[in-house]
Amino acid sequence: MTVFEEMVKGWPQQARLSPFMADAPTTTLQRLKGLTTGSLPTFIDASHNFASEEISEDNIIDQLVRHGRRITVLGDDTWGGLFPGRFSRSHLYSSFNVMDLHTVDRGVLSHLGEEMAREDWEVMVAHFLGVDHCGHRYGPDHPQMAAKLTQMNEAVGQVIAAMDNSTLLVVLGDHGMTQTGDHGGDSRDEVEAALFVYSPALHLPTPTLTLPVAQVDLVPTLALALGLPIPFSSPGQVDIFIIALFLYI
């Protein structure tokens, strides 16, 4: 995806791109739990990867709701299973068919523009799924993957073009994939994704060093930045790299 490098090179004071390091297991459901609770789901949890039961432990979604922040969610219907009744508005699509590369992504894109124009949310989650499914079906080096990444590149570009100065964009992958398109384990290819952060309001010093960000550190960092309590089960620490971004907005 070229949009990230273009933004970092063209607007170095407004954009940052870092490696984003997950903990195993790198199955999607367990990564979503980790990204919202800040905790470390186990390999035992991974055996329930297709059962998106409601999360009962402390998490950043519930903290947002308790503090009056309105959340809109688009895309993967796993979010509805994990957090029923939490969202002010949702447009969710079935994620079960791993052969389906387009239904979820087209659903997100059909609502993304209109949601960006609305002012009745504080947090929006847009969970695209096609890259993950394309990896499982074809692997990372197939022409279908190139087409899917081009689609995602255009989607991110459209969001950036629609942003105002009070909005922060965070784009992340919950896991990587192997050369065969698989994930779930702890190999470098599976645990390394990317984290991109951008806001027109940022005026950051030009970076001299790019450091990886631990996925487990995202929840406590976002909680502190948004004035929320850090979820109780989070073992992570506040990432100085990310928290500094909020100080400039």
Amino acid at 163: M
Residue pointed to by tokens 């919202």: 36
pLDDT in the model for residue 208:
66
Per-residue pLDDT of the chain (249 residues), as tens digits, is 999 999 999 998 889 999 999 988 888 788 899 899 998 766 435 445 445 689 999 999 999 999 999 999 999 999 999 999 999 999 999 998 999 999 999 999 999 999 999 999 999 999 999 999 999 999 999 999 999 999 999 999 999 999 998 899 999 998 889 998 888 888 998 999 999 999 998 877 776 678 899 999 999 999 998 899 999 988 888 887 677 666 655
| CA nearest neighbour of 162 among 172, 154, 150 | 154
pLDDT in the model for residue 201:
85
pLDDT in the model for residue 243:
72
15, β-bridge pairs = 198
Q: How far, in Å, are 98, 227, 235 from residue 141 at the CA level?
A: 17, 42, 36
**Which superfamily, per CATH, for 2-247?**
Alkaline Phosphatase, subunit A (3.40.720.10)
Q: Which residues contact 6 (CB under 8 A, 6 or more apart)?
A: none
pLDDT in the model for residue 9:
93
pLDDT in the model for residue 185:
83
The SS3 assignment for 16 reads strand
pLDDT in the model for residue 203:
79
pLDDT in the model for residue 45:
53
pTM of the predicted structure, to 2 decimals: 0.91
pLDDT in the model for residue 233:
85
Q: Which residues contact 80 (CB under 8 A, 6 or more apart)?
A: 52, 73, 87, 90, 92
171, β-bridge pairs = 196
